[in-house]
A and B are shown apart, each in its own frame.
Chain A
Amino acid sequence: MVTSVKTQNDINNRRKTMTLLKTVNAKFFHAEIPYKPMGKYVHFLTVRVTESYPLFQTDGELNKARVRAGVTDSTPISRLAMFKRKQSTPERLVGRELLRNYGLMTAEECEYNVKFAMNNPDCIIYGFAIGDSGSEKSKVVVDTAFSITAFDESHETFTLNAPYENGTMASKGEAGSKPGEVTSRINQQDHIRPQVFFPSIVTLKDPTEASFLYVFNNILRTRHYGAQTTRTGRVRNELVGIVFADGEIISNLRWTQAIYDQMQATGTLHSPDPLNEDDVLTAAQVAVEGLMASESLVHTDFIGEAFKPLLAEVKAQTGSEESLRAILRLADDEAKAYFAKHVEKPKKAAAQAR
């Protein structure tokens, strides 16, 4: 694969072929990927909704955390937790799949957590660490997400077994077993219920327009989280809005707690029934607007009605093959230019110095 060095001119030319976002002011984006943090942040406000029975676990147990129920309601409850890496990994993999599909990366030159090529959008935007070859800090930061509802009403215990051909657990003498013997191939496993909601903010630092769209697209497209082998990890990402800011905003925990308070106040927490998605999204919007109003940083919010045109525009751009290809190409050019200027060159200089 030819990895020619792209100059800023090439990138500017490429940018002309891509339709620029009309709903967002270009001042929120960098013209090129900066080599040091420049204090531009974009926060994607998502609510992750389970649609089947996912598993977020380590050591055979679902991850949970005991925290306050709300910001005002201080009753401690146990919540399901979706760890940060369990959110970012599937999103990265979706992006990598697309880069390969559109011929911008091959499986041989870059393999996740095995061999990072360091010069493609995934490596530069989401970061990598390779022993002596250095590390690129991730520009995407995700935090542990907590379920709005308590652990006990958000999970179910399933019994798993591996029956014989006849559908029972009793042997008929298959493969040398004793007829009538009951197999011990039985297990129990906790699963997260469908319609459990995890409010989660994905933060992208120092975005260019292409990296913003790249990450946005990954969030919109990712459908599976958690243990991959279970085939039950379907999760849908609903976006509540986007906040451009000059720093970090509220935490997932605080947002979740504010949503809990809001839903309690409006009487929409009908425990133990699952939450109504419309109620959750309304509460999520009200809660985040309330919290953002008291933040002491410079921010521009696209939430609720204000978010609709932006979401529609992004979906239109990522939904057509032609414009998606243009976005990926531009993201790739930017990554290659960054790699040549800030990764490859300093490494060569260091090697010469030795």
Chain B
Amino acid sequence: MTMIYHCTLELHDSLYFATREIGRLYETEPVLHNYALSYVLGLIDNPQYNTVVPEEHAYRYFCSEQVPKYEEHLTPLNQQGIYVTPARAVSHTAILNTWKYADNRYHVEMEPTSKNIPSFGRTKEIAPESQFEFFLITEKALVLQRWVRIGKWASKARLEAVELPKLTLHSAGEFAYPHPLNPLDVMFTNQVLSYDTVNMPPVSLIRNVRMIGEFYTVEGMQGLKIPAKMQYRFSN
């Protein structure tokens, strides 16, 4: 039985991740990627959700290399019928911050950098109390944590998940979906007609999508049509 949770994430600290880098300015787009959210919700490598990954891919405190393992980590979610959509901002404000790598000496000479590692920069972050919304589609009821951490600074956020009442699955038809989507996860099962792109690594997202495919409607939520059959897909 498919269930959909409408999730709201309220930031309690400023949120930063680099959507794009413009010289020394690092910008955070008010869109949360569904890969990131899957980690944030604690769905990955978690015995509670039956998504434990093989030992060699398990999360460790010490990481000898920085190589993402999205495919290894997200595939168990497909097997459990769990899928998280990207999030859009319901309300948000941005703030600019300067950061630097300091050491504990009182006097530091500016030296030309030998390595390609930035020593200072400015970040455009999303301010506390901004809110995001997304959907969590699952075959089984899930118990989620209330406080989660998100972004480069592991900022605290409050998560609220409300199960949507009475879903109806409709056969393939044309419809519009205003929220962001991960194109890889929809394009194999739905025919995407038009969209706007949100550039962000590792997989750019799309929004304001018109498509043909199966979709869910929710009782009491007029006009909301959520694409069905989404799952994590990888290009190779």
Contacts and interface: CB of A to CB of B under 8 A. Distances in A.
| B and A form one assembly | yes
Interface of A: 34-37, 58-59, 63, 65-68, 83-85, 89, 93, 96, 111-114, 127, 131, 134-137, 139, 141, 143-144, 228-229, 247-254, 295-297, 342-343, 346-347, 350
A247 B42 CA distance: 11
Contact of B61 (A112, A137, A141, A247): A137
Interface string B54-84: 0000111111111000000000000000000
Contacts of A296: 146
27 contacts: A36-B58, A36-B61, A65-B95, A66-B93, A83-B97, A84-B13, A89-B102, A96-B104, A111-B104, A112-B104, A131-B115, A131-B117, A135-B62, A135-B63, A135-B66, A141-B154, A143-B12, A247-B145, A248-B149, A251-B157, A251-B158, A253-B12, A253-B13, A254-B12, A342-B60, A342-B62, A343-B62
Contacts of A139: 61
Contacts of A131: 115, 117
A127 B60 CA distance: 12
A131 B65 CA distance: 9
B120 to A, nearest CB: 10
A68 B129 contact: yes
Chain B interface size band reads 35 or more
Contacts of B115: 131
Closest 7 A/B residue pairs (Cβ): A251-B12, A248-B147, A58-B98, A134-B64, A253-B12, A251-B156, A113-B103
Contacts, number: 107
Given A36-B58, A141-B149, A250-B147, A114 B64 contact: no
Contact of A67 (B96, B98, B129): B129
A82 B99 CA distance: 13
B153 interface: yes
Contacts of B153: 84
Nearest to A349: B64
Of the candidates B62, B99, B145, B146, the one having the most CB atoms from chain A within 10 angstroms of its own CB is B62
Interface of B: 12-14, 58-66, 93, 95-99, 101-104, 106, 115, 117, 127-129, 145-149, 153-158
Given A143-B12, A144-B13, A144-B14, A251 B147 contact: yes
Nearest to A90: B104
Main secondary structure of the interface of B (DSSP, over half): loop
A65 B128 contact: yes
A248 B149 CA distance: 9
A251 B13 contact: yes
Contact of A350 (B64, B93, B154): B64
Contacts of B102: 89, 113
A348 B185 CA distance: 38
Contacts of B146: 295-297
B98 A134 contact: no
A347 B103 contact: no
B158 A136 contact: no
A36 B59 contact: yes
Contact of A248 (B59, B63, B156): B156
B105 to A, nearest CB: 9
A346 B97 CA distance: 37
A143 B58 CA distance: 26
A112 to B, nearest CB: 5
Contacts of B59: 36-37
